[in-house]
Homo-oligomer: A and B are copies of this chain.
Amino acid sequence: MVKPGEDLRRNLHDQFERGDVYAPECPSRPLLDHLTSRWGVLVLVLLLDRPHRFGELASLIGGVSDKMLSQTLKTLVGDGFVTREVGTDGPVRVTYALTDVGQGAAERLADLVEWLESNMNALVPA
């Protein structure tokens, strides 16, 4: 029984005790999209090493624009993969770090990235 005014998110959460990425309406779908987004992967893997400031990420990730980086970070923070901390004293300094869940995801993404970097040559020359 679902009352019309009730929170849809809550219903989905109840409906999928364990996620199923093959179900189009499962909340894990957007999460997977964010984790595997073009810039999201690269950000998360960098944060696995240590927390980074915005400008550090921007210069380490070749080809990313300010706009995309800030958008990507906002999404990851919103999902709960990353924390955003603003330095109180001095000029503007924002540091991004992994949450506990973010750490779990980032480890698996780093595994994929490292595998790809090692095995790239088995793919490209073909």
Contact = CB atoms under 8 A, between A and B. Distances in A.
Interface of A: 9-10, 12-13, 16-24, 26-28, 31-33, 35-38, 41-42, 60-63, 79-81, 101, 104-105, 108-109, 111-113, 115-126
A121 B17 contact: yes
Contacts of A101: 119, 122-123
- State how many copies of this chain the complex holds: 2
B38 A33 contact: yes
A120 B33 contact: no
A126 B81 CA distance: 11
A126 B123 CA distance: 40
Contact of A112 (B42, B62, B109, B119): B109
Contacts of A37: 36
B116 A28 contact: yes
24 contacts: A9-B125, A18-B118, A19-B116, A19-B121, A20-B117, A21-B117, A24-B63, A28-B116, A28-B120, A31-B124, A32-B113, A35-B112, A36-B36, A36-B37, A36-B112, A80-B126, A101-B119, A101-B122, A104-B115, A104-B119, A105-B112, A105-B119, A108-B108, A108-B112
